[in-house]
Structure 1
C-alpha cells in the first residue's frame, strides 16, 4: 500500500489514512491486498481528486449521480469509480452510459434496482457490473438497505436472476452519526455467512463494505474488505451556502 510522494492537504491525509489502514491490518493479521480504500470525493472538486490520482490512488466513490457524471469525464479513464449513494431507477441508464469506468455499485437495496441495472448493462453492451447488496444493519428508517432477514433473497436475485451483474458482496452504512457500532459490523458478518451458505460460495469471495472515516480501523479489524473514507482524506464536506436574502 506504499504510495509515492504526495503534496497538498488531501495527499498528506491519504498518507495518514493508509498508515492507519496498515496498522489495523497488522493488528488483525491480514495482508494489504485484502482491503480496498475508496476515497469518497462527495462535494469535492476535480482538482482534489486529481491530486490523489497523481499520488497513485485509483479508487474513488461518489454519492450522487449528477456529481459523478460531471466529474468522471474530467478525470483519467483508469480510475475505478464506486457509486455508493441511493440510486433511483430513472438515473440508472444515465449513470451507466455516462461513466464507462464505473467499477461497482455498492448500494443495491432491492430487486427493482438490481433488475434495472441488469437490463441497462445489457442494453449498453457493457461488461458485467459488480454490485454489493446494501443491508440496513442499524434498523434506522432514515437508512436505505434491505433488512438483514432479506439479504439472502436479494443476493440470490442478483446472482441468479441478473446475468449482467456480478454479486460481489454486502455493504452497510451504519449508525446515524456515521460511526458504526460493532453490532452493525457483526450483523453484516452474520449476513455474509448466511448468504454464502445459501449460495454455496466461499466467504472470501463475498466482500464486506463497512467502515468510514470515523471507524475504518475497527471495521478492518472486523474483516471489512472495502472502507469508504471521505472527510478523513478530503476534509469536511462543502455544501453550497443558501442565500438567506431570498
Structure 2
C-alpha cells in the first residue's frame, strides 16, 4: 500500500472536524512529498534540527508542528516557521517561546501537554500545575504566544478501558478550562490519539490526531 493510499484511507475515516497531523519524524523528504502530493499539508516532527532541514527543502505552504519534547535552548531555531508547538509542559518553556516570538515579531500557537499516562517517563503537567499556569499573571503578560488547546498521550497498553479513561480525563480538563478566553488563551484544540488509538481518541472528543506509522509505515 502506498503512502498516498494510506493517507486517503485515513482521511476518509476522520470526521470533518478532526485535523490530521502526519507524523513524519525520521522519514525522508521523498516520503513527505508523496504525502504532500496526496494533499497533506500538516506534518509533525519531534526533532527541531530534522524539522528545520525538511522545512528548508519543502514547499512553504506546509504547516510544521513540533510534537516532541522541546528544550528551551532549541526554541530559537524553529520560531521563524513553526505553526504549532504540541508539547509545552512548563512556564519556563512558554517564557522562552514568547521571548523568541517577540524577537521574530511572530505569534506562536501552543498546546499544553498534560500527563495522563501511568508511565513515569511521559512529560506533562498535572491538573494543579495546569490550573496554576493558566491562571498565572506571567501568562497574561505574554503577548506573542497563544494557548490554543491541550494534548496528551495515553499509557502504552492493550487495556482499552485504561486508555479510554485517560482520554476522557483529558477531555474533562479541556472542557473545564475552555473559559475564560483571553488574548492569549483560547482552548479550541484537543490533541490526543495516534496510529493505534486515534479512533478511540476521536470518540472521546479529540479533534486533532497524530498519525505516523499508519501513513508512512513502521520505523
TM-score by length of 1: 0.81
1:177 CA displacement? 4.9
Identify the structure with the greater helix proportion. 1
Q: Quote the RMSD (CA, aligned, Å).
A: 2.0
* Max Rg structure: 1
In structure 1, the gaps of 5 or more residues are: 1-7, 26-31, 238-246
Which residue is equivalent to 1:140?
A: 119
Which residue is equivalent to 2:77?
A: 94
Which residue is equivalent to 2:10?
A: 17
Which residue is equivalent to 2:109?
A: 130
In structure 2, the gaps of 5 or more residues are: none
Tell me if structure 2 keeps the 8 A contact 1:211–1:218.
Answer: yes
1:52 CA displacement? 1.0
TM-score by length of 2: 0.90
Tell me if structure 2 keeps the 8 A contact 1:152–1:194.
Answer: no
- Secondary structure of 2:122's partner? coil
Change (3 A) 1:68 1:184: same
Distance 1:156 1:50 in 2: 42
Which residue is equivalent to 2:87?
A: 107
Deviations 1:192-227 (A, max 9, x none): 122124x357xx942100000011111112211110
Tell me if structure 2 keeps the 8 A contact 1:133–1:154.
Answer: no
Matches within 5 A, 1:1-246: 9-21=2-14, 25=15, 32=16, 34-97=17-80, 100=81, 102-126=82-106, 128-157=107-136, 160-177=140-157, 181-197=163-179, 199-200=180-181, 205-237=187-219
